[in-house]
Amino acid sequence: MNVLSPSRRVVVIGGVAGGASCAARLRRLDEFADITIVERGPDVSFANCGLPYHIGGEIRDRDALSIQTPASLQAMLNLRVLALTEATHIDRNARTVTVKSVKTGEERLLPYDQLVLAPGAAPLRPPLPGIEHPQILSLRSLEDMDRIKLALHHISSVLVIGAGFIGLEMAEQLAHLKKKVHLVELQPQILPLLDAEMVRPMENELRRHHVDLRLGQAVASFSAEPDNHVTAVLSNGERLTVGAVILSIGVRPESALAKQAGLALTPRGHVVVSEYMQTSDPLIYAVGDVCATPDPLSGGVSNVPLGGPANRQGRTCADHMVRGPSALPYPGSIGTAIVRVFHLAAGITGLSEKRLRELARPYRSTTVTGSSHASYYPGSQKITLKVLWDPETGRVLGAQSYGGDGVDKRLDVLATALRGKLTIDDLVHLEMSYAPPFGSAKDIVNIAGFAATNQRDGLLHNVDTVPDGALLLDVRATATATQEPMAGATNIPLPLLRKQLASLDPNQVVVTVCNFGKTGYFAARVLAQHRYTALTLTGGVHGHPELLKHKDDDAS
């Protein structure tokens, strides 16, 4: 036994994703380290992503959310867990952390050789009038979850503020519980990380399930009502009276302790770390939602407040403690995220169009719609994929997708493509697994590659709006064009186009439009080779439901 060398003393502040992963990995690398986890709450290593689903009843067993307990971490990994204990001060010279019992207020000093900050991020709670009402809640811990479950008893309506990932999961689960759900979002779209047109179908999906979605609205104040109800006053003056409010407008890193210790922070308050998760003090590491890591796509730094990056940062941190620079560095987060809302999923990996514009970075955009698997096999669903790419190199910069099935798979393929620095040419020839229940011989990812390379090579000229004076040429079958007419369009089905070319004015720009964009492209190729100026409307009618005379409320 390795009793001669003194054990390293490691204190880990925070015992959920990043902190627990770090401590567990460290134990596997160093059986003799003296490892203490300091956790302010009563629980460690719980499945925070599962909380909305227990509230909604999909995950029935609360215990399923407790991946480990302080006792199991002690038994399995020989970790000392100080739960209900808050770290209040770091003395970098003395290498000690002051910790305080949440229950008794008793303080003690923990000496460390290496310190890991994994305190996470706290839900934002804006200082609005009335915010202290007991039915205005947010969701971070198992205790928060229990409070929300309790608050939902005997009430029939809930206001969710913020339509990001957690807000949407909550809205969906509250609707499952048959609550009347109001969802207010400051931005003019849900899921502000995604581009607006990629979330419209999900906005419709929410409305179809009777969620009262209010975009571009803030809450100005709250006031108490009888029966423990709350009235929220919106920025447009409207008043919503509900039984409870869930705040999900974002999180702020819990970096007060790091700040007190004089560690370098970003302007947004995240702890700055190296590729090995070291802060500006090399004996102190930070992992998870509290820190910002180099962003391999934008060149800056970013924080992706999700469990996956946190876990892998914890691992990197432990590896570096034991192995130094021979450890595998953290490569930065590209940001992959997904959410399901009723029968639709939507997600993103890498940079959005919005973000590319902010970065003033040149890009081109390709959007295609296809089938989740072979359309002739039962159960296939429509899936839309948007790929953003560098006009010079063709390198993929980001992707977004929505659809009923298979969105996760395409995002994961594109996330892997991003990591591999693949180009739109590579997407053409990706060999994805194909049998009719699983995919298509030409997967939507390949089709995105076809369309993007066609754009680059000047074969496909996409537009998102119809230019003034252009002819809108509807190339769908006549039966479809009659049933779902487009305002101001001329219908010539593709099979008749070559014969009816003479009826078109060669001096008028033509914008072809079909159901999803493919037949429109085919028609534009015919026209262009006959010397017409032909553009194709991205995504066809599916992408532009506003063109239909009798607009359906479902663009999915």
Residues in 457-476 at the binding interface with a second copy, rule: CB under 8 A = 459
Beta-carbon count within 10 A of 540 CB: 23
CB of 482 to a second copy, least distance (A): 19
**Does residue number 214 form part of the binding site for a second copy (CB under 8 A)?**
no
Question: 354 or 442: whose CB is closer to a second copy?
Answer: 442
CB of 276 to a second copy, least distance (A): 13
**73, 300, 353, 417 from 359: Cα distances, Å:** 44, 10, 10, 21
User: Total binding residues for a second copy by CB under 8 A?
Assistant: 95
**Does residue number 205 form part of the binding site for a second copy (CB under 8 A)?**
no
**Does residue number 441 form part of the binding site for a second copy (CB under 8 A)?**
yes
Among 36, 278, 303, 333, binds a second copy (CB under 8 A): 333
Question: 78 or 221: whose CB is closer to a second copy?
Answer: 78
| Farthest-apart Cα atoms in the chain, separation | 93
First-to-final CA distance of the chain: 63
3-state class (DSSP) for residue 382: strand
**164, 409, 488 from 437: Cα distances, Å:** 32, 14, 40
**Does residue number 146 form part of the binding site for a second copy (CB under 8 A)?**
no
Q: Which listed range, 22-30, 195-203, 243-251, 362-370, lies at the site for a second copy (CB under 8 A)?
A: 22-30
CB of 21 to a second copy, least distance (A): 8
Nearest 5°: the CA angle 357, 556, 446 is 65
Q: Which ranges constitute the DSSP H helices of 209-280?
A: 256-260
Beta-carbon count within 10 A of 60 CB: 8
Question: 243 or 404: whose CB is closer to a second copy?
Answer: 404
Distance of alpha carbon 314 from alpha carbon 294, whole angstroms: 16
Region class of 250: left (phi > 0), else alpha (psi between -120 and 50), else beta: left
Residues 480-499 that bind a second copy (CB under 8 A): 494-495, 498
CB of 58 to a second copy, least distance (A): 6
Residues 6 or more apart whose CB falls under 8 angstroms from that of 357 comprise none
Number of H helices and E strands in the chain, helices first, is 16, 31
DSSP state of 546: G
CB of 438 to a second copy, least distance (A): 4
For helices 165-176 and 200-208, the axis angle rounded to 10 degrees is 20
Among 105, 154, 376, 392, binds a second copy (CB under 8 A): 376
Beta-carbon count within 10 A of 37 CB: 29
Among 42, 50, 250, 485, binds a second copy (CB under 8 A): 50
Among 299, 331, 362, 391, binds a second copy (CB under 8 A): 331
Question: 219 or 286: whose CB is closer to a second copy?
Answer: 286
Residues 53-112 that bind a second copy (CB under 8 A): 53, 58-59, 64-65, 67, 72, 75-78
Within its chain, how far is the Cα of 415 from the centroid?
A: 13
Among 138, 453, 515, 556, binds a second copy (CB under 8 A): 453
Give backbone dihedrals phi and psi of 269, rounded to 5 degrees, phi first.
90, 10
Which residues is 245 bridged to in the sheet?
A: 136, 159
Question: 165 or 222: whose CB is closer to a second copy?
Answer: 165
Distance of alpha carbon 218 from alpha carbon 69, whole angstroms: 39
CB of 231 to a second copy, least distance (A): 32
Residues 232-261 that bind a second copy (CB under 8 A): none
Contact yes or no for 335/304 (Cβ under 8 A): yes
Q: Which amino acid is at 261?
A: A
DSSP state of 112: -
CB of 429 to a second copy, least distance (A): 5
Among 320, 409, 476, 544, binds a second copy (CB under 8 A): 409
Question: 135 or 401: whose CB is closer to a second copy?
Answer: 401
CB of 426 to a second copy, least distance (A): 6
DSSP for 280-318? SSTTEEE-GGGEEEE-TTTSSEE---SHHHHHHHHHHHH
Distance of alpha carbon 276 from alpha carbon 274, whole angstroms: 5
Residues 336-365 that bind a second copy (CB under 8 A): 336-340, 345, 347, 349
**Does residue number 377 form part of the binding site for a second copy (CB under 8 A)?**
yes
If 0-12 CB within 10 Å is exposed, 13-18 middle and 19+ buried, where does residue 209 land? middle
**Does residue number 307 form part of the binding site for a second copy (CB under 8 A)?**
yes
Residues 411-440 that bind a second copy (CB under 8 A): 411-413, 415-417, 419-422, 425-426, 428-439
CB of 156 to a second copy, least distance (A): 26
Beta-carbon count within 10 A of 64 CB: 13
Question: 217 or 366: whose CB is closer to a second copy?
Answer: 366
Q: Which listed range, 115-123, 218-226, 441-449, 509-517, lies at the site for a second copy (CB under 8 A)?
A: 441-449
Among 158, 306, 489, 537, binds a second copy (CB under 8 A): 306
How much helix, strand and coil, in percent to the nearest 5, is found in the chain?
30, 25, 45
CB of 29 to a second copy, least distance (A): 8
Residues 512-551 that bind a second copy (CB under 8 A): 522, 525-526, 529-531
Distance of alpha carbon 48 from alpha carbon 55, whole angstroms: 12
**Does residue number 321 form part of the binding site for a second copy (CB under 8 A)?**
no
Residues 155-184 that bind a second copy (CB under 8 A): 165, 169
CB of 62 to a second copy, least distance (A): 10
Distance of alpha carbon 459 from alpha carbon 9, whole angstroms: 63
Pairing of strands 301-302, 291-294: antiparallel
**Does residue number 328 form part of the binding site for a second copy (CB under 8 A)?**
yes
CB of 374 to a second copy, least distance (A): 7
**Does residue number 315 form part of the binding site for a second copy (CB under 8 A)?**
yes
CB of 552 to a second copy, least distance (A): 25
Question: 69 or 231: whose CB is closer to a second copy?
Answer: 69
